[in-house]
Chain A
Amino acid sequence: MPRQFTPKVVTANRLLEGDAVWFTAQDTWSTDIADAELMTDEAHADLRLLQAQGQADVIAGAYLADAKEGDNGPEPTHFREAFRTRGPSNYAHGKQEQNHV
């Protein structure tokens, strides 16, 4: 039996800085997963991934990642994706640093 499709966001790394970004419904990239387009339809998600990958001059390595609807927008469901929204745990570097400056 095929696995049931779970909600997804498109995520990638920015070409110049390399930091994690998420694909919005407006075809832009945000450093906040809450701005991402959450997709519940598999065919639509595959199409959006192709469109995201088309922006090769902005990002690298786009893929679909599991997410869920939260109070302020999409949230990660897996710890790896949660780390990508924050940064490493040994220093306050990455997004957690930018968010507190």
Chain B
Amino acid sequence: MYNYNDFDEAFVRERVAQFRGQVERRIDGSLTEDEFKPLRLMNGLYLQLHAYMLRVAIPYGTLNSAQMDRLAHLAETYDKGYGHFTTRQNIQYNWPALKDVPDMLSDLADVGMHAIQTSGNTIRNVTADHFAGAAKDEVADPRPIAELLRQWSTDHPEFQFLPRKFKIAVTGADNDRAVIRAHDIGLQLLDQDGQPGVRVIVGGGLGRTPMIGKVLRDFLPLEDLLPYTEAVVSVWNRLGRRDNKYKARIKITVHEHGIDEISKRVEDRFAAIKPSFSGVDQDMLRDIEAQFAAPAFRNAETDLFDRAYAADPLFRSWADTNLTDHKADGYAIVSISLKKHGATPGDATADQMRVMADLARQFGHDELRISHEQNVILPHVHKSDLPAIYKILRANDLATANIGLASDIIACPGMDYCALATARSIPIAQQIAERVDALKIEHDVGEMKIKISGCINACGHHHVGHIGILGLDRAGVENYQITLGGDATQDAAIGERAGPGFAYDEIVPAIERLMLGYLDLRVDEGETFIQTYRRLGAAPFKAILYPQEAKSHAA
């Protein structure tokens, strides 16, 4: 893990001190709200429907046990005893008082954390594969690159007043778990005959105009990453539409100018600035890489795991669903579900955070990850420790065996919290999860990605859900549109709108019909929902969703 050096430490402390002064001046009336708003947003502080909200960055989703403990401390001391993990590997506190926020930021600085650039028209928290450094299919650990980008983008003088926000995601594997094709820049680490490099994808994004990113460079030598990325952002900073915020993101710039024109401009800019990069960034990268060295894995028997797996059906079910192959023999990656049926997706109580921190300390080489799917990961666990871990997870309501299944739903905060939302998301997720649990169908239904957004901005990634749900305000009533066939992986696809929206009390039955209908349509148990959808197209699923219309067409 990356440890702050003296520069990082001083920088973050200074920002806390600056913000403390700004909050004081806002409270004593020296600053108006118009003056204060951009300052608070630079430090991750929003004003939402019922309270302020502080968004804290968890860079590339990695944290250690002391940091997780500190997140628990914040939840307990300044909030209502819980925190909400988001789709961009941040944590949000929904109830802080304005006067407490500088103290929260100071407490975070104690453990090398901050809320800088978690809002505003800047380069946001750089996200990464949540299995980074552990996944068996990984070519290279994406986190050193993500950390280098974090340092480069933090307070970068050229990029503090961008046309709009800018999001970068990095993966080090062919299997894309970081949704890189739906980011402003998506980076995939490659190895070409021993030469490290990066595939650069640009212009992806969700929101009101969803687009899958386009390849800008199929193989960029790794050493050119920073000047090349700077060239991309620089070209967009010049061309980006500041006249219309709905057309300001780079996806529109790429769309309007074409990938060839953007590529030409980027290459020109890259050629111009490359000489100014003396190689110091590569020295820094070496230093960062050393800090992300793999832990000392142990060689041990896995009998304890094998025996528990054979004897305990509950443990077996959890192991089958929540474990992923690790690159080290005898090890596994543990996904801890924050999606207990009926609970709020992504929420963890302070007690649960401490339990997960303890597990990381005791069994997990002190490492934790937050996934964009709003779960927590123990990336390095020896299999012999899994029965003990499972027991502790069960005792703390953290052992739900549903990773990748229908109740493992992404949901944005929606109109329960968010000032931008047009409808609620959380209760829809809760009700779907409760329904699949009551029907006992989710292990039969198998892999299914349901993603819910409470407005068109798509924080809930609904466009790339196998089943996407978008909550809208239709004439003063909540209404939910369904999209089908989206995909967030290396086969990224934007879902297709199924038809007219459903009322609040109709949407859960509609999703139930889709699931049961899929069970009838699939060739066999091996064909997943998305495979069936790709084989048959939208028509049979639309007929399931709108039986009345299907009937009238037949008549």
CB pair A61 B33 closer than 8 Å:
yes
Contacting residues, chain B, for A95 (C-beta < 8 A): 50
Task: Tell me the B19-37 residues at the A interface (CB within 8 Å).
Answer: 26-29, 32-33
CB pair A91 B415 closer than 8 Å:
no
- Chain A interface size band reads 20 to 34
CB pair A79 B50 closer than 8 Å:
no
Minimum Cβ distance to chain A for residue B503 (Å) = 12
CB pair B477 A16 closer than 8 Å:
no
CB pair B97 A80 closer than 8 Å:
no
Contact A57/B50 with A80-B415, A88-B417, A89-B416 known, Cβ cut-off 8 Å? no
CB pair A20 B50 closer than 8 Å:
yes
Judged by a CB distance under 8 angstroms, whether B234 is at the interface is no
CB pair B50 A15 closer than 8 Å:
no
* Contact pick for A16, options B48, B97, B426, CB 8 Å: B97
* Contact pick for A18, options B32, B51, B478, CB 8 Å: B51
Judged by a CB distance under 8 angstroms, whether A24 is at the interface is no
* Contact pick for B47, options A60, A77, A87, CB 8 Å: A60
Whole-angstrom distance between the alpha carbons of A79 and B473 in the complex? 9
Judged by a CB distance under 8 angstroms, whether B95 is at the interface is yes
Judged by a CB distance under 8 angstroms, whether B430 is at the interface is yes
Contact A83/B415 with A19-B51, A94-B50 known, Cβ cut-off 8 Å? yes
Minimum Cβ distance to chain A for residue B102 (Å) = 13
CB pair B427 A83 closer than 8 Å:
no
* Contact pick for B80, options A13, A15, A77, A91, CB 8 Å: A91
CB pair B476 A79 closer than 8 Å:
yes
Proximity bits, B40-72, A CB within 8 Å = 1, else 0: 000000011111100000000000000000000
Judged by a CB distance under 8 angstroms, whether B372 is at the interface is no
Judged by a CB distance under 8 angstroms, whether B98 is at the interface is yes
Q: Which residue of B lies closest to A85 (CB)?
A: B50
Minimum Cβ distance to chain B for residue A2 (Å) = 20
CB pair B33 A89 closer than 8 Å:
no
CB pair A16 B98 closer than 8 Å:
yes
Contacting residues, chain B, for A77 (C-beta < 8 A): 476
A18, A77, A89, A93: residue with the most chain B Cβ atoms closer than 10 Å: A18
Contacting residues, chain B, for A19 (C-beta < 8 A): 50-51
A16, A60, A90: residue with the most chain B Cβ atoms closer than 10 Å: A90
CB pair B50 A84 closer than 8 Å:
yes
B27, B98, B430: residue with the most chain A Cβ atoms closer than 10 Å: B98
* Contact pick for A90, options B27, B49, B430, B476, CB 8 Å: B430
CB pair A84 B49 closer than 8 Å:
yes
Whole-angstrom distance between the alpha carbons of A61 and B445 in the complex? 46
CB pair B426 A90 closer than 8 Å:
yes
Proximity bits, A63-99, B CB within 8 Å = 1, else 0: 0000000000000011110011001111101110000
Whole-angstrom distance between the alpha carbons of A15 and B99 in the complex? 10
Whole-angstrom distance between the alpha carbons of A39 and B432 in the complex? 41
CB pair B477 A79 closer than 8 Å:
yes
Give the total number of A-B pairs whose CB atoms are below 8 A apart: 74
Judged by a CB distance under 8 angstroms, whether B344 is at the interface is yes
Minimum Cβ distance to chain A for residue B104 (Å) = 14
Contacting residues, chain A, for B96 (C-beta < 8 A): 18
Whole-angstrom distance between the alpha carbons of A56 and B344 in the complex? 35
CB pair A90 B50 closer than 8 Å:
no
CB pair B427 A89 closer than 8 Å:
yes
Q: Which residue of B lies closest to A80 (CB)?
A: B415
Whole-angstrom distance between the alpha carbons of A13 and B95 in the complex? 13
Contact A13/B47 with A90-B430, A93-B80 known, Cβ cut-off 8 Å? yes
CB pair A83 B29 closer than 8 Å:
no
Contact A88/B27 with A18-B47, A60-B47, A61-B33 known, Cβ cut-off 8 Å? no
CB pair A15 B26 closer than 8 Å:
yes
CB pair A87 B415 closer than 8 Å:
no
Whole-angstrom distance between the alpha carbons of A57 and B417 in the complex? 24
Contacting residues, chain B, for A87 (C-beta < 8 A): 50
Contacting residues, chain A, for B26 (C-beta < 8 A): 15
Judged by a CB distance under 8 angstroms, whether B424 is at the interface is yes
CB pair A15 B51 closer than 8 Å:
no
Minimum Cβ distance to chain A for residue B496 (Å) = 28
Task: Tell me the B215-243 residues at the A interface (CB within 8 Å).
Answer: none
Minimum Cβ distance to chain A for residue B221 (Å) = 48
Q: Which residue of A lies closest to B96 (CB)?
A: A18
Contacting residues, chain A, for B477 (C-beta < 8 A): 79
CB pair B32 A83 closer than 8 Å:
no
CB pair A20 B49 closer than 8 Å:
yes
B28, B50, B344, B430: residue with the most chain A Cβ atoms closer than 10 Å: B50
Task: Tell me the B417-436 residues at the A interface (CB within 8 Å).
Answer: 417, 424, 426-427, 430
Q: Which residue of B lies closest to A16 (CB)?
A: B98
CB pair A18 B416 closer than 8 Å:
no
Proximity bits, A19-61, B CB within 8 Å = 1, else 0: 1100000000000000000000000000000000000110011
11 examples of A-B residue contacts, CB within 8 angstroms: A13-B51, A15-B26, A15-B98, A17-B97, A19-B50, A78-B476, A79-B415, A88-B94, A88-B416, A89-B416, A93-B50
Other A-B contacts than A56-B29, A61-B47, A84-B49, 18 sampled, CB-CB below 8 A, are A15-B33, A16-B97, A16-B98, A18-B48, A18-B96, A57-B27, A60-B33, A60-B47, A79-B476, A80-B49, A80-B415, A88-B417, A89-B416, A89-B427, A91-B80, A91-B344, A94-B50, A94-B51
Instruction: Please give the residue numbers on chain A whose beta carbons come within 8 Å of chain B beta carbons, in ascending order.
Output: 13, 15-20, 56-57, 60-61, 77-80, 83-84, 87-91, 93-95
Instruction: Please give the residue numbers on chain B whose beta carbons come within 8 Å of chain A beta carbons, in ascending order.
Output: 26-29, 32-33, 47-52, 80, 94-99, 344, 415-417, 424, 426-427, 430, 473, 476-478
Closest 6 CB pairs of A and B: A88-B416, A18-B52, A18-B51, A57-B29, A60-B33, A94-B50
